[in-house]
A = this chain, B = another copy of it.
Amino acid sequence: MSKKWVYLFEEGNAKMRDLLGGKGANLAEMTNIGLPVPPGFTITTEACNEYSSTGVFPEGMMDQVQEQLAKVEEKMGKKLGDPGNPLLVSVRSGAKFSMPGMMDTVLNLGLNEESVKGLIALTQNERFVYDAYRRFIMMFSDIVLSEDTPELKKGNFEAIFDELKEELGVKGDTEVNAAGMKDLVGRFKAYFKKVTGSDFPTDPMEQLKLAIEAVFKSWNNKRAIDYRNFHKISHTLGTAVNVQTMVFGNMGDDSGTGVAFTRDVATGEKVIYGEFLMNAQGEDVVAGVRTPVKIAELARQNQAIYDEFLRIANLLEDHYKDVQDIEFTIEKGRLFILQCRAGKRTAAAAVKIAVDMVNEGTITKETAIARVEPAQINQLLLPRFDNKDKEAAVKAGRLLAKGLNASPGAATGIAAFDADIAEEWGLEGKRVVLVRPETNPDDVHGMLASKGILTARGGATSHAAVVARGLGLPCVAGCETIRVNEESRLFTVDGKTLKEGENISIDGTTGEVFAGIIATIEPNVSENMELSQLLAWADELKTLGVWANADYPRDARKAIEFGAKGIGLCRTEHMFMEQERLPIVQEMILAETPEARKTALDQLLPFQRSDFKGIFEAMGSYPVVIRLIDPPLHEFLPSHDELLEEVTRLEATGGDAQELAEKKKMLAAVNSMREFNPMLGLRGCRLGLMMPGIIEMQVRAILEAACECKKAGIDVHPKIMIPLIGHVNELKATRSYLEPVAKQVQKEQGITVDYKFGTMIEIPRAALTADEVAREAEFFSFGTNDLTQTTFGYSRDDAEGKFLLKYVEDKVLPVNPFQTLDRDGVGKLVSWAVKAGREANPELEVGICGEHGGDPESIQFCHEVGLNYVSCSPFRVPIARLAAAQAAIASQGPADK
């Protein structure tokens, strides 16, 4: 007896991928769990390998094919080539791994002049049948035979069809009627004969044999080999061949087709959800020519089929333990399942279904967590535009422009063109959207009073974007098509004008800007019990801590509300930018004597102390990482260009001499601090070392605030973070200034504070020398924004607009490295630094505070390299909690189903 080369679907199962290929194994699995899959069989990969080495079919293989085919025919009550009730089959390749470059599907195999007649009788649709026939001839010629006879390539048949259409005076395929299609079949056959010298194969067994051989041969065609070489797939796996019965939903009123989900994929409710059409093919449902009806209607039309479908739906959800998206066809009163797969669902449904299924006992918490896309969570946390209203606005031409989606969420309100008016209107209780060419520290008070920000210039790390994300305010930045006219208080775009005081709506998630108001859906997180439940489970499972970046007490409170367990980055410079402080900060910067500088710093101290106290109070006993001043000082001074314009104007017009002198003095000061590349200039610890007074004041403020809190019974744990370290000596030198201050304050207050000193790792050199740095630091926090900038040599502000987005579009870069951490480059530095740092200092605590801390894929990486925590914007904390749990689950191997 020869080896078994051919398996009926019911003879296999999901685990037999090696022998039956991925597709064959799945068809077997579905068959075996009792689904009415159109019957068929799979020829094994071993048969393919045998063919590859010998060039002929293995002995007995075609006998087994005929044997199994007979069983299929019996099941279907049809016979291949039967003029009365012809069986048609599809032939498909199916290797262990899905593999483009191999043979595609041949449908409707078994058609010839005889069976065509039978099919017409059955479907009463001559056009459909001839259409199927001409497609079959073309497909078969192209896919099965054109490797040896290039004249049989698809294009040649299409040319014949085009010729016919021209003769008929029609343009589209659909305009060709039954007679035309029949004519076309004739022409195709004639062409086939002309090219090959033989008739198109009419014997269905001959057709089948040729198709099987073509699949075998396709395993070793050039594209397939290249693909396997590239993806490092073994050439010895071979491919299986799947031969499956064709079924038709358009064989009369006892036939039909439809699609349904096992639960409502919009809301997550546990009800069957879908639609169908009787006497129709799948294309008809998709094409929208006829309107499908609700699945419930099927019960009225055919209770038995409906009941059967319900049974299958439950079976499927039970088997795959997830919502299923099921395609079905009814052929002459017989239900067939053509395909089933996990159903796509909305964010809300995803969360509800996952939690429900755990509660129903169907899946584990791990599976529930793995099922929900972290990015989806975002949708549940932010206000968003009502889709219908938005679509209406687009149709009405109210979509004005598209900028950079700098901070997600939707905002509506009246446009304000400067910060003062925004603040004024905001205080009056009006909803305001601040519109600026770009923002700077002077605008912060207006931003605080607004519901959203729109700027014409600046990238995803521009002032507007960074502040907006920090505040959780929607922001569209770098919207370069709008022309803001500050004097006339309006902007124009494409000939349209939007004036101050008029309504505007911006979508920070998409970057869209609309005229007028769009209805907005406000989220209600705390009432979303399923989400809270899912995140609680996530917290049980994750090993990474999730902290938040927060500069203000209210951000800190928001972070706590969203589940953060610490502050991973509190930027102190935003505090400097507040309106009442900025003049003192400027005084400090411009001071000409150490005494004058000291006086200004002394004035800033109480402000900073109360800032920190507020944050400590909000965070209680959670750790708070406070970063010492980072940006270059000129960011706190007036704009160079504006000063230059004013000075030039005053000089040209002989303006007020005193004003000119003052402006000139300021311009000189700004000039002296101006830098060619401020990103790589005098900032971070460099600034601290050149001007230690500022950081000494900050450390004093931190320790004094901590002492006050401890007196009030709050067990604070401040961590003082020194930015932009590149050489360990910078850290040593900075600590040598700061430790005495910290000790002094504790002595003055008579209180001991549990404080730590650590550093950002955001300069490649710090990562490369992490062992040395770790000996001087109690913690590391990866500043992956700057680390990405320096590792790639990209200034984010310049790069995103000028080439980075184009790079991503052109696939020069796989992703935007500012959104998802670049594993091959930046990631190499991070994992090296974690390893070397921990080896040098086993007590070292390591986290991340760049924006990647809120990106699920990057969080996966952070888990893999063993960070202690990720820190992200408060609004991304829930996403990070979920992603961290998923990472923990993934690292324990594949989840159960």
Interface residue ranges, A against B (CB under 8 Å): 641, 644-645, 648-649, 651-653, 675-682, 686, 689-690, 724, 726-727, 729-730, 733, 762-765, 768-769, 772, 786, 789-795, 797-799, 802-803, 806-807, 810-813, 822, 824-826, 828-829
Contacts and interface: CB of A to CB of B under 8 A. Distances in A.
Contact of A768 (B648, B786, B794, B824): B824
B681 A679 contact: no
A729 B772 CA distance: 34
10 nearest A-B pairs in the assembled complex, by CB-CB distance? A680-B795, A677-B795, A765-B825, A681-B798, A652-B652, A648-B648, A763-B793, A677-B677, A675-B798, A677-B679
Contacts of A653: 652-653
Contacts of A799: 680-682
A679 B792 CA distance: 12
A729 B676 contact: no
Given A648-B652, A689-B812, A792 B726 contact: yes
A25 to B, nearest CB: 35
A640 to B, nearest CB: 8
Given A675-B795, A733-B812, A764-B764, A825 B769 contact: yes
Contacts of A828: 768-769
B803 A682 contact: yes
B791 A765 contact: yes
Contacts of A826: 765
A464 B518 CA distance: 56
A764 B786 CA distance: 13
Contacts of A726: 791-794, 825
B786 A765 contact: no
B676 A798 contact: yes
A794 B689 CA distance: 15
A651 B652 CA distance: 9
Given A675-B798, A802-B682, A793 B825 contact: no
11 contacts: A641-B644, A645-B648, A648-B652, A649-B652, A678-B798, A679-B793, A680-B789, A690-B806, A729-B813, A764-B825, A790-B790
Contacts of A829: 764, 768
Give the most central of A651, A762, A797, A807: most B CB within 10 Å.
Answer: A807
A791 B793 contact: no
Nearest to A810: B733
A475 to B, nearest CB: 18
B768 A825 contact: yes
A184 to B, nearest CB: 42
Q: Which of A733, A792, A811 has the most CB of B within 10 A?
A: A792
Contacts of A791: 726, 763-765, 768, 790
A730 B806 CA distance: 12
Contacts of A676: 678-679, 795, 797-798
Contacts of A644: 641, 644-645, 648
Contacts of A680: 677, 679-680, 789, 793-795, 798-799
A222 B797 CA distance: 54
The complex is assembled from copies of this chain, and their number is 2
Contacts of A794: 680, 726
A678 B689 CA distance: 26
A865 to B, nearest CB: 15
Contacts of A792: 726-727, 763-765
Nearest to A825: B765
Nearest to A725: B793
Contact of A795 (B645, B681, B772, B786): B681
Contacts of A651: 649
A641 to B, nearest CB: 6
Contacts of A648: 644-645, 648-649, 652
Contact of A813 (B649, B727, B824): B727
A791 B803 CA distance: 22
A80 to B, nearest CB: 50
Most buried by B among A729, A793, A794, A825: A793
B812 A677 contact: no
Nearest to A676: B797
Given A649-B649, A680-B795, 16 more contacts: A648-B648, A648-B649, A677-B678, A680-B789, A682-B802, A689-B803, A690-B803, A726-B793, A726-B794, A727-B825, A729-B813, A733-B810, A764-B825, A769-B824, A769-B828, A790-B790
Contacts of A793: 679-680, 724, 726, 762-765, 786, 790
A680 B794 CA distance: 5
A406 to B, nearest CB: 16
Contacts of A825: 726-727, 764-765, 768-769
Contacts of A790: 764, 790-791, 793
A862 B828 CA distance: 24
A690 B791 CA distance: 21
Contacts of A675: 795, 797-798, 802
Contacts of A806: 690
A763 B769 CA distance: 17
A380 B690 CA distance: 39
A897 to B, nearest CB: 37
Nearest to A804: B686
Contacts of A764: 764, 790-793, 825, 829
B765 A822 contact: yes
A730 B690 contact: no
Contacts of A677: 677-680, 795, 797-798
A442 to B, nearest CB: 18
A786 B793 CA distance: 9
A668 B651 CA distance: 23
A229 to B, nearest CB: 14
Contacts of A649: 648-649, 651-652
A656 to B, nearest CB: 14
Contact of A686 (B686, B733, B772, B803): B803
In this complex, the member of A680, A727, A795 whose beta carbon has the largest number of chain B beta carbons within 10 angstroms is A680
A818 B641 CA distance: 31
For A649, A765, A799, the residue with the greatest tally of chain B CB atoms inside 10 Å of its CB is: A765
Highest count of chain B CB atoms <10 Å: which of A769, A772, A812: A812
Contacts of A729: 811-813
A680 B653 CA distance: 39
The interface centre, meaning the residue of A675, A681, A769, A798 with most chain B CB atoms within 10 A of its CB, is A798
Contacts of A689: 803, 807, 810, 812
A812 B678 contact: no
A724 B733 CA distance: 33
Contacts of A678: 676-677, 795, 798
A699 B353 CA distance: 60
Contacts of A811: 729
Contacts of A768: 791, 824-825, 828-829
Contacts of A803: 682, 686, 689-690
- Among A644, A763, A768, A822, max chain B CB count under 10 A is at A768
A620 to B, nearest CB: 35
A828 B767 CA distance: 11
A282 B682 CA distance: 50
Contacts of A645: 644, 648
Contacts of A686: 802-803
A644 B649 CA distance: 11
